[in-house]
């Protein structure tokens, strides 16, 4: 692994439609060490990779993700909104992404609900060699997952200037990492993470100058929409 870990945010969302297999492939080709993705459940309980809980922004569908069966979701176009050349791109399932990534890439799975968390844990049991990190803004959800998966790597997301409480909860939960919004990062945060044994991965960083500053400050890596640009600048 390189000394500065690049997470492809929703794949390579700056150059391909987010949270699609094409985006994840682009991230790998660009030199990302891992990919970040978001999960919601279909009406029939299948973890599907999509950021929003509704379909309008990134597909040609309408309504809530959880009101559609997997078969219905698979008929949607998840690429044309980004560019006509991506027309026909489909929403992937989490299982498809895990099977594709194998052991090559780490996969950061962001969960947003307890029911999605339970479904993800059940699926991960079938992929014991998958290199995963499960994250959420819902710290209580991560704390509830811990007794069910004692060794599962967890990442605590933060977007509030009152980040210290979240960091303390991450340490108490035995989390691996802390994921703050990039503008919240400070020397005091870096120091606090170091003292608590937490890896620091800020989001979302597309400016190479900012990425370089964060590396010098002590961040272990960043989430980026453009891993190729960041990797080239930091090489």
Complete DSSP assignment for 24-59: HHHHHHTT-SEEEEEEEE-TTS-EEE-SSSBSTTTS
From the candidates 9, 40, 139, 179, give the one annotated as an active-site residue: 9
With 0-12 CB in 10 A as exposed, 13-18 as middle and 19+ as buried, what is 171? middle
C-alpha dihedral sign at 146, 180, 8, 111: positive
Strand 177-180 with 199-200, pairing: parallel
**According to the model, what pLDDT value does residue 94 have?**
98
**According to the model, what pLDDT value does residue 22 have?**
98
As a whole number of angstroms, the distance between CA 108 and CA 176 comes to: 12
Is residue 127 helix, strand or coil?
coil
Active site residue 179: no
3-state secondary structure 58-107: CCCCCCEHHHCCHHHHHCCCCCCCCCHHHCCCCCCEHHHHHHHHCCCCEE
**According to the model, what pLDDT value does residue 192 have?**
98
**According to the model, what pLDDT value does residue 2 have?**
77
Global pTM? Answer: 0.97
Report mean pLDDT in 10-residue bins for the chain, 235 residues: 90 98 98 98 98 98 98 98 98 98 97 97 96 98 97 98 98 98 98 98 98 98 98 94
Domain ranges within the chain, ordered by starting residue: 5-53+92-234
In CATH terms, 5-53+92-234 corresponds, of 3.40.47.10, 3.20.20.190, 3.10.20.30, 1.10.10.10, to 3.20.20.190
| Sequence-distant (≥ 6) Cβ neighbours of residue 202 within 8 angstroms | 179, 180, 181, 182, 184, 185, 214, 219, 222, 223
**According to the model, what pLDDT value does residue 1 have?**
47
Is residue 18 helix, strand or coil?
coil
As a whole number of angstroms, the distance between CA 167 and CA 187 comes to: 14
From the candidates 40, 51, 139, 179, give the one annotated as an active-site residue: 51
């Amino acid at each position: 692994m390189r000394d500065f870990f690049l997470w492809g945010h929703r794949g390579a969302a700056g150059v391909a439609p987010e949270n699609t297999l094409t985006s994840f492939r682009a991230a790998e080709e660009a030199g990302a060490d891992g990919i970040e993705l978001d999960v919601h459940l279909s009406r029939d309980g299948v973890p599907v990779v999509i950021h929003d809980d509704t379909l309008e922004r990134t597909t040609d569908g309408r309504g809530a993700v959880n009101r559609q069966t997997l078969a219905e979701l698979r008929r949607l176009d998840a690429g044309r909104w980004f560019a006509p050349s991506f027309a026909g791109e489909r929403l992937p399932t989490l299982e498809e992404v895990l099977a594709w990534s194998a052991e090559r890439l780490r996969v950061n799975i962001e969960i947003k609900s307890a029911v999605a968390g339970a479904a993800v844990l059940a699926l991960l049991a079938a992929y014991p060699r998958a290199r995963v990190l499960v994250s959420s803004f819902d710290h209580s959800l991560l704390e509830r997952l811990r007794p069910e998966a004692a060794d599962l790597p967890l990442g605590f997301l933060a977007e509030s200037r009152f980040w210290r409480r979240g960091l303390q909860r991450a340490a108490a939960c035995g989390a691996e990492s802390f994921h703050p919004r990039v503008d919240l990062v400070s020397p005091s945060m870096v120091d606090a993470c170091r003292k608590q044994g937490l890896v620091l991965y800020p989001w979302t960083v597309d400016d190479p100058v900012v990425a370089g500053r964060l590396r010098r400050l002590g961040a272990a890596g960043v989430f980026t929409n453009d891993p190729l640009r960041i990797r080239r600048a930091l090489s």
